Every structure is written in C-alpha cells, then in structure tokens.
A and B are shown apart, each in its own frame.
Chain A
Amino acid sequence: MANTKRSNPLLLVACLGLLAGLYGVFEALVYRTGPTGLGSYVPWGLGVALYLLFLGLSAGGLLVNCLVYILGKKELDRIAGVVTYATLLTEVCAGIAIALDLGHWERMYRFIVSPSLTSPMFWMLIFFTAVLVVYAVKALAIIVGSQSLARLCSLVSIPVSLCFYATNGYFFSIITSHPAWSGAFTTVWFVLAALLSGGGLVTALAWFSQEESEVTLRLGRTVAVLLACFLIFEWLYFSAGYRGGRPDIAAALTAMLTGQAAWSFWLLHIGLGLFLPLALLLVGRNSPAAVAWAGLCIVAGFLAYRYAFVVAPQSVPMLPGLDKAWQDPRLTLTYTPTLGEWLLTLWVFSLGLAGFVVGPRLFPRLFSRPAWLQPLAR
C-alpha cells in the first residue's frame, strides 16, 4: 500500500465503509446491546467473534518476533515496522469491537477500580494493555531508529503476547457450562489460531505493502506449517468431540456443521480460509503473490471460524427445556445479527482497512525497512 495510486481506491472503500457503519457505532454507543439480536441464552455473538478475529490478526507480531529472535530468521526483521503497525492497528480494532459489545462500556474503568483477579477477562485486559504498550514502544523505537530498544521490546513481547493469546483461550476453556468450549485444548488451539490468522495477515502485508518477495515466501512456508497444524487440531476437536460420547458436545459440534451459520463455516472457513490457501501455498509456493493471496484468504475466512466457535455452542440449552419454559425472543437458542451489528462490523473492518491504507502516509518509517537494516549513505 506504499503505492498511492493503488491505495486510493482502497481508501475510498474504507471511507465509504466508515460512513455506512456509523449507524452501527451510534446504536452501540447510545442503545448499547438493546438493538442487537443477542439474548440471555446466546449472550455472545458477532461482537465477540469480531474481537476474537482482530485479536488473532494481531498475533502476526508474535509470529515474526519468534521467527526472528528464537529461530534466527533475521531477514524477517525487514518488515518489523509494518508488522508492529499491524499489531497495534488490529489490537485497536479488537478493543473497539469488544468495548462496543458491552452493556455499559462507560464503566470500563471498573477493571481498574474494582478488579477481580479470579476472572480471565481481567487478565485478558491486562495482557491486552501490555501488548499494546510494548508494541507502541517498539513502534517508537523503529521510528527513532533505536535497534536496541526495538530488540528489547521484541523480546519482551514474546512472553507477553503468548500470555495474551493463551488467556483468550483460557477465557473460554474454563466455561464448563458449555463443554464445547471448555478444556485445556482450547487454550492451545487459540494460540495456534492466532498465530495462523496473524501469520496470514503479515504474509499478505509483506507482499502487498512491502513487496518483499523473500520475506513473503519465508512467511508463507511458516503459515503453511501452521495451517497444517490447525487442520489437525480442528480434526482432533471434532473427532474427539463426537467420539467422546457427550450429547451436549456433539450437539454443539453439529450446530457448527449443520446449523444456521453452517454455510459460512463450510464456505468461508473451510473453503476460503483453509483449503484454498492450502492449495495456493502448495501450488504457488514459489510465487510471492500466490502466497500473499493465501494469507489474505486465511484472514478473510477467519471471521467465519470465530463466529462458529462463539455462537454454535450456545445453541445447546444449559438445561433441557429451558428455552421453552418462558417464551420471549431474548430467551431462545438462536441468534441472528441485526443490521446494526453488521454495520458496526463493517465500520471496524473499514477502520482497519483505512488504517492500513493511511499508515504509510502517517508513519513512513514503519513502512520502510528499519534504519539499522538500510544501507549506509555514501
């Protein structure tokens, strides 16, 4: 997106999305959860899925830092700036998505004045903030050309980010009332899912924004391994769930595979988000463009995965017959996002797109190779 001619239409699309999505933001700010399609038995929907999508996309920073500082793939440091920017931008998008999903967003200061150390949500916020701070300092270090500070931030960010992505999985894994979420497996799977989706994003950025073919191909190979691992994990999740013999887990899995949003699970998640990129990574493994498109497909398909993971398990009643005991649209096991929720989603996506488009203009130093990797002027 360094190319202004190429980025102008994208900026126009982003601006239109921001404009159209304003109504969704207004609704969420003023009427909170009232106009949503949520209910008491399906209390989490598109907003939570959107948050999970963007927090996963922010894991590109963790992936690249691991590759550079643990596995010694120093050439990836060339895109340190854009990766740092992507992490910050997607974290901001994730934060906006989840804040606007609260019934009382204006009380978020309560996380500080009356925290609960037993709640994974509290720790999620702590690590969310820590990741944001560490990457903000790293961005500053890259801008001022301080290699030592950038390196320190990268090293610190690895355990902090791991804690953040693991906490998000842990957040779900302790909810034993929804057995399709619970269990230690979820924590590990969340870290893997974050690395995959974040890896997809930085792979796409490495080519479309930086045109770094060597880096793109290197990231592509890593993403291919992550994709293969993710497929194995997903197969294990469904296989163990069905073969374990628990009807509530089987019902949740069936809801994912055949329920209301099954089309998005199969077409967007499995088709567009897993098999198409896998094919692109295998067939076009030597083509940076094909690899970058594979990364973009992973990103595009991941919302469907997050949505299925969040919504489908809630369609299983906590107690048999509970959803029939008191008739009300808010007390059913189905959930359909409203127009306002979709517009809010569009607004957050547009914000992310606008951020990537205007990023090179606002922070040119983040979108070029770090100062310590540029050849010295003669």
Chain B
Amino acid sequence: MSPSLPSEDLLVRMHRELARALAKDPDKVKWVMVIDLARCIGCHACAVACVSENKLPPGVVYRPVMEEEIGVYPNVRRRFLPRPCMQCENPPCVAVCPVTATWKNKQGVTVIDYDRCIGCRYCLTACPYGARCSDFAGFYTNATAEADGLLLGRKAAAKGYEDAATPEYGKAWPPRGHGSPIGNARKCHFCQHRLAVGQLPSCVTSCIGRATVFGDANDPASYVRECMGSPRVFRLKEEQGTQPNVYYLA
C-alpha cells in the first residue's frame, strides 16, 4: 500500500472521535460540520440518505446539493455545494420565533419543538440559507392508485415507508398524517437521534467521497478541528453575521 494513502477510513476515525465526544460532559461538546467541496462529486447520496433517515415527505429537504456550471467552453466544470442547516452561532431563525419553539441546544445545534411550533413560517423567511422547510402534509403516494391486495395500492405502498413516524429528536411521533410535524417548520438537526446512540449523521456516513466531516470542535485532536484550520476554509454568507457552524473547504 502506498504510504500516501490514508491508513484508515475517515469514517472510522470520526466514529472514534464521536465516541470520545459522547463520553465527555455534553455541555463541553460543540458539533460542527466541514464539507470539502473538492471531494464532493455531486452524487446527492447525502440528500437522499437524509430524506430516507428522517422520513421526509415531498417538498421537505434538509440537505439539498446545489450545482453550478463554471467556466467558459472548453474550460468548463461543475461545482457542487451541499447545504445543510448552518447551525449558526447567531441564528436569525431562533430570534424571530414568536413562541420559543426553536432554540440552540448546548452542543450548538438549532432544534425545533414540533409540538410547540405554530407554523407561522417566520423562521423560513428569516433564514439566509433557505435551510428551513415547511411540512405541507405531502405524501409520495398521493397519486398512487388504490388497489386490492397486500403489495399493490396506495395504502400498502405508504405503509412501508411514509406512514412510518419520523425518528427525529428521538421522540415517539405519531404515524405520519396525524399531527406534527405536519404544519411545522422542519430543518436539519445533525441527526440528533443518531448522535444519541453513537452514530454519525446519515449525510456523513453516506458520503462516498468522504467530503462531509463531522465532529466536536472543542476536541483539539479531532479531524474537524484540523479542517477548520485549513487555509481553504470559508463559510457561507459571513457578511450576515450568523457565524455558521458548517464550514466549507474550497
């Protein structure tokens, strides 16, 4: 094996660092994400994994991947930019919520209490990254014809996937179609329910180019901390003063 190749998969290292962070006092952990744009191949696997993990309905997406064509023919390239919630230090979405349904938790992640949100969508307009979605009660199987039998038909199709409750925030939500999160604002939360059981966010584990890095910014030995010190690092819309906790490597 070439000595220039990494001796272990980055995911293994991140899992080890995650276990270390989870063993710490939770108040001393600060989750951050770093996305290396040079490694992103635009496969959208992270976006799909996120939708699947959180059982997101149509029209709700936490981590779309934006694509851009740059250059002039024949010197043209495509550039990809995944956009999760930036988990801002100074989140405009939190300040505008009239009923304190959204806040930053101690690890720096902006979370939503679906049972408290009134669905005014003020946070959606306040977020400079368009990182919040409203759940308009969509179903993928709405247009699926009903038919007899166990395998065919809308009900059977929906039962296997979208009627299932979302696992978000580790709470026991009712089956989809019975109240919240329908009608609520929804957003990326760094897969809180996965972190709670020692798993990395689904966008991190599904990234085949290992472009998405996740970890504890307060751990000086963590890989995210290394990346944050890179000269290639930048954050989106810094001029807004939101101080995102998602960093990009150009």
Contacts and interface: CB of A to CB of B under 8 A. Distances in A.
Interface of A: 31-34, 36, 38-41, 43-44, 101-105, 107-108, 110-111, 114-116, 118-122, 125, 174-178, 314, 317-322, 324-326, 328-331
A326 B61 contact: yes
Contacts of B127: 177, 318
B128 interface: yes
Q: Which 7 residue pairs are nearest across A and B when measured between Cβ atoms?
A: A103-B119, A330-B59, A103-B183, A325-B64, A318-B130, A43-B121, A34-B137
Interface in B29-83: 47, 58-61, 64-68, 81, 83
Given A43-B125, A102-B120, A103-B183, A319 B236 contact: yes
A116 B130 contact: no
Interface string B102-142: 00000000000000111111101111111011111110000
B101 interface: yes
Interface residues of B, number: 48
A114 B116 contact: yes
Contact of A120 (B96, B135, B180): B96
A320 B79 CA distance: 12
B67 A321 contact: yes
Nearest to A172: B125
B184 interface: yes
10 contacts: A33-B137, A44-B121, A101-B120, A110-B118, A119-B97, A177-B240, A319-B83, A325-B64, A325-B83, A328-B58
B116 A322 contact: no
Contacts of A101: 120
B65 A325 contact: yes
B99 A176 contact: no
Contacts, number: 165
Contacts of A320: 66, 68
B97 A326 contact: no
Contacts of A317: 130
A11 to B, nearest CB: 34
Contacts of B183: 32-34, 102-104
B66 A103 contact: no
A40 B134 contact: yes
A34 B66 contact: no
Given A114-B99, A119-B98, A177-B92, 9 more contacts: A33-B136, A103-B183, A103-B184, A104-B118, A116-B100, A122-B98, A175-B126, A317-B130, A319-B130
A33 B118 contact: no
A176 to B, nearest CB: 6
B137 A104 contact: no
A110 B117 CA distance: 8
Nearest to A98: B120
Contact of B99 (A36, A110, A330): A110
B95 interface: yes
Nearest to A310: B125
Contact of A177 (B61, B101, B128, B135): B128
Given A43-B121, A325-B83, A36 B130 contact: no
A164 to B, nearest CB: 15
Contact of A330 (B58, B68, B96): B58
Given A34-B136, A103-B120, A322 B100 contact: no
A322 B98 contact: no
B99 A324 contact: no
A121 B124 CA distance: 14
A128 to B, nearest CB: 12
B77 to A, nearest CB: 15
A44 B185 CA distance: 13
Contacts of A116: 95, 97-100
Contact of A40 (B59, B68, B97, B128): B59
Contacts of B60: 40, 330
Nearest to B137: A34
A322 B64 contact: yes
A311 to B, nearest CB: 12
A114 B101 CA distance: 8
A193 to B, nearest CB: 19
A44 B125 contact: yes
A314 B95 CA distance: 20
B67 A325 contact: yes
A165 to B, nearest CB: 18
A205 to B, nearest CB: 32
A41 B183 CA distance: 15
A38 B66 contact: no
Given A44-B121, A103-B117, A36 B66 contact: no
B117 A118 contact: no
Which of B66, B98, B100 has most chain A Cβ within 10 Å? B98
A326 B47 contact: yes
Contacts of A39: 59, 134, 136
A176 B61 contact: no
Contact of A331 (B59, B101, B125): B59
Given A33-B183, A115-B99, A324-B66, A176 B240 contact: yes
Contacts of A111: 98-99, 118
Contacts of B129: 177, 318-319
Given A111-B98, A121-B120, A321 B66 contact: yes
Contacts of A325: 47, 61, 64-67, 83
B243 to A, nearest CB: 14
A110 B183 CA distance: 15
